[in-house]
Chains A and B, each alone.
Chain A
């Protein structure tokens, strides 16, 4: 499977589109179907496809396991971090209108995007981590 040229070429072409599409799903989360979770899964699917064709070792060259574990924690921290910022600014937890530099309307739109980004990062890295843990068993 590793030597199949069609598979390799198709993957090379298709992976960038998958990644870009996932960002689109993330950005349109609050007005159309989609959001951080779905975007994160699609983003991870791109990486998973890549490593299924080229092997897990190739994946590690792009992103190491340490970084993936770090990202799982980082995503949730971004989510709660937004909540802390609104609290520090005199609001309640996740009161988007109180994000510094935003008013009621833009704050609600942007705040949602911020926390969805956190969800995106965590879901992406957890999906990848699950894949790696399973793939490790079958790799050798």
Chain B
């Protein structure tokens, strides 16, 4: 087998295949499924990293399925932008796979556990598929795969609230997905192709057509709903707060960000900035909405009584940063946006892992139980502190670098409202995280009970914390990578 040539297909198909294997084997022997899961995550991460190296040495890859030449056939298009996203998703999946067994044993009924592992893997493969594909309809299909599995994963928690939030997400997610497919249908009507690069070229002749304009509007609304951009965020807090802790960690780290990636893909590669800034002001509108999202998310997080709800609302704000950077149509802003994708995936994933460890011991995540947590669970508390600092954007953490580039981009485009909002929101983030940090480190504990912090749960948390600090101290290489991606995206402006 020519492994190198088939990497783009393998990185999606392998987890997909293995998810099916987990059901086929799990129905007879449940005990081996966690091991298959672990191996799958490892191999997927290996594929993703080999693909990363391959793309950065030999340039973008176009992989034709079944060797049918596009636009007739389906292609996977891997360039500097989406390989970063693929690697982030696969490596987060890998790191979190260590965390799964203990948490799953605690929260998922034993009879459902093998299905849970299988659906999680399917979810990951759906996300990888969205990012890697070069075909419009494939984007929709993978969106559906990842959303339908997400509905199931949220509901698998099994209490009344998780059913309710899953149903809520089901309705809104379906509306979002139908908007996306409707827009794709309009684009197909306007151009007669579904291939991304082909469409980019053909769209240039029909920029002023009403079909193209309405397609753009519809797709942007659909994506905003899927990525929970304020005010379309109402499904998100419930979905994150009531799902199993592993799922809230994995989903918060990846799923909404993938939709933000699609927004970048649509605005830069398919519609190109020429259309999105000059024909109709998509970028301006979405940029102001994202600024409102940043402020609103931070304010909403301020009043929460539950850790998971607080993190979820803060996610609503953080999505705003990613969208804001992308909508500036400025190199530094876009680098900031890509960097923030990574930074936020690491940090928010890590925070939900921390919440998962707290849930493991207390079976709830209310903020008032964290009084004096440092004495009871020192490792968890320190992990929380590192992530909190990174969320605020203290230097030497990854959050600082992304905010630095975002602010630079905003200054370069003369967007002073944006600068003010980012700084104000950092302050708000500091307030709502310090509320918890204060309780954890400086309040006296209510009792002297010691809690255990299993090594398999602490280790992934600390790997993510380490990554956050590493990318805060040595951002050079990643910024270079992001710069390469940005240059490729910006080519369409000329």
State the A residues within 8 Å of B (CB). 66, 69-70, 72-74, 76-77, 80-81, 83-84, 87-97
User: Is there an interface contact between A70 and B65, defined as CB atoms closer than 8 Å?
Assistant: no
**Closest CB pairs A-B (n = 10):** A73-B24, A73-B23, A93-B9, A80-B17, A73-B20, A94-B66, A76-B20, A95-B67, A88-B1, A95-B66
State the B residues within 8 Å of A (CB). 1-2, 5-6, 9-10, 13, 16-17, 20-24, 27-28, 63-67
Cβ–Cβ < 8 Å partners of A97 in chain B: 67
Alpha-carbon gap, A70 to B6, bound state (A): 28
Alpha-carbon gap, A94 to B66, bound state (A): 5
Alpha-carbon gap, A12 to B472, bound state (A): 72
Q: Which of B1, B22, B27 contacts A87 (CB 8 A)?
A: B1
Alpha-carbon gap, A132 to B6, bound state (A): 40
Cβ–Cβ < 8 Å partners of A73 in chain B: 20-24, 27
Cβ–Cβ < 8 Å partners of A95 in chain B: 66-67
**Most chain B CB within a 10 A radius of its CB, from A72, A88, A91, A93:** A93
Q: Which of A77, A83, A84, A94 contacts B20 (CB 8 A)?
A: A77
**Most chain B CB within a 10 A radius of its CB, from A66, A89, A95:** A95
- Could you list some 27 contacts between A and B, CB below 8 A? A66-B27, A69-B23, A69-B27, A70-B24, A70-B27, A70-B28, A72-B23, A73-B21, A73-B24, A76-B16, A76-B20, A83-B9, A83-B13, A84-B13, A87-B2, A87-B10, A89-B1, A91-B67, A92-B6, A92-B9, A92-B63, A92-B65, A92-B67, A93-B13, A94-B65, A94-B66, A97-B67
User: Is there an interface contact between B66 and A87, defined as CB atoms closer than 8 Å?
Assistant: no
User: Chain B's interface: helix, strand, loop or mixed, by majority?
Assistant: helix
Cβ–Cβ < 8 Å partners of B17 in chain A: 76-77, 80-81, 84
User: Is there an interface contact between B1 and A77, defined as CB atoms closer than 8 Å?
Assistant: no
Alpha-carbon gap, A97 to B66, bound state (A): 9
User: Is there an interface contact between B66 and A96, defined as CB atoms closer than 8 Å?
Assistant: yes
Cβ–Cβ < 8 Å partners of A90 in chain B: 1-2
Cβ–Cβ < 8 Å partners of A87 in chain B: 1-2, 6, 9-10
Cβ–Cβ < 8 Å partners of A93 in chain B: 6, 9, 13, 65-66
Cβ–Cβ < 8 Å partners of B16 in chain A: 76, 80
Cβ–Cβ < 8 Å partners of B2 in chain A: 87, 90
Q: How far is the CB of B135 from chain A (nearest CB, A)?
A: 14
Alpha-carbon gap, A89 to B6, bound state (A): 12
Nearest residue in A to B17 (C-beta to C-beta)?
A: A80
Q: How far is the CB of A137 from chain B (nearest CB, A)?
A: 17
Alpha-carbon gap, A91 to B6, bound state (A): 9
Alpha-carbon gap, A100 to B67, bound state (A): 16
Cβ–Cβ < 8 Å partners of B9 in chain A: 83, 87, 92-93
Q: How far is the CB of B67 from chain A (nearest CB, A)?
A: 5
Cβ–Cβ < 8 Å partners of A76 in chain B: 16-17, 20
Q: How far is the CB of B126 from chain A (nearest CB, A)?
A: 14
Cβ–Cβ < 8 Å partners of B20 in chain A: 73-74, 76-77, 80
**Most chain A CB within a 10 A radius of its CB, from B2, B9, B66:** B66
Alpha-carbon gap, A93 to B14, bound state (A): 11
Cβ–Cβ < 8 Å partners of A92 in chain B: 5-6, 9, 63-67
Known: A73-B27, A97-B67. 9 other contacts (CB 8 A): A70-B24, A72-B23, A73-B21, A80-B20, A81-B17, A87-B2, A87-B10, A92-B65, A95-B67
Nearest residue in B to A65 (C-beta to C-beta)?
A: B27
Cβ–Cβ < 8 Å partners of B64 in chain A: 92
Alpha-carbon gap, A76 to B28, bound state (A): 18
Q: How far is the CB of A8 from chain B (nearest CB, A)?
A: 32
Q: How far is the CB of B209 from chain A (nearest CB, A)?
A: 34
Alpha-carbon gap, A84 to B63, bound state (A): 15
Cβ–Cβ < 8 Å partners of A66 in chain B: 27-28
Alpha-carbon gap, A72 to B118, bound state (A): 13
Nearest residue in A to B23 (C-beta to C-beta)?
A: A73
Alpha-carbon gap, A90 to B28, bound state (A): 34
Cβ–Cβ < 8 Å partners of B28 in chain A: 66, 70
Q: How far is the CB of A136 from chain B (nearest CB, A)?
A: 15
Q: How far is the CB of B7 from chain A (nearest CB, A)?
A: 11
Cβ–Cβ < 8 Å partners of B66 in chain A: 92-96
Q: How far is the CB of B87 from chain A (nearest CB, A)?
A: 20
Cβ–Cβ < 8 Å partners of A96 in chain B: 66
User: Is there an interface contact between A77 and B65, defined as CB atoms closer than 8 Å?
Assistant: no
**Most chain A CB within a 10 A radius of its CB, from B9, B20, B22:** B20
Cβ–Cβ < 8 Å partners of A74 in chain B: 20, 24
Cβ–Cβ < 8 Å partners of B67 in chain A: 91-92, 95, 97
Alpha-carbon gap, A127 to B5, bound state (A): 37
Cβ–Cβ < 8 Å partners of B13 in chain A: 80, 83-84, 93
Alpha-carbon gap, A106 to B302, bound state (A): 65
Alpha-carbon gap, A96 to B65, bound state (A): 11
Q: How far is the CB of B51 from chain A (nearest CB, A)?
A: 14
Cβ–Cβ < 8 Å partners of A77 in chain B: 17, 20-21, 24
Nearest residue in A to B13 (C-beta to C-beta)?
A: A80
Alpha-carbon gap, A77 to B2, bound state (A): 21
Alpha-carbon gap, A53 to B395, bound state (A): 71
Q: How far is the CB of A1 from chain B (nearest CB, A)?
A: 32
Alpha-carbon gap, A24 to B10, bound state (A): 33
Nearest residue in A to B16 (C-beta to C-beta)?
A: A80
Nearest residue in B to A78 (C-beta to C-beta)?
A: B20
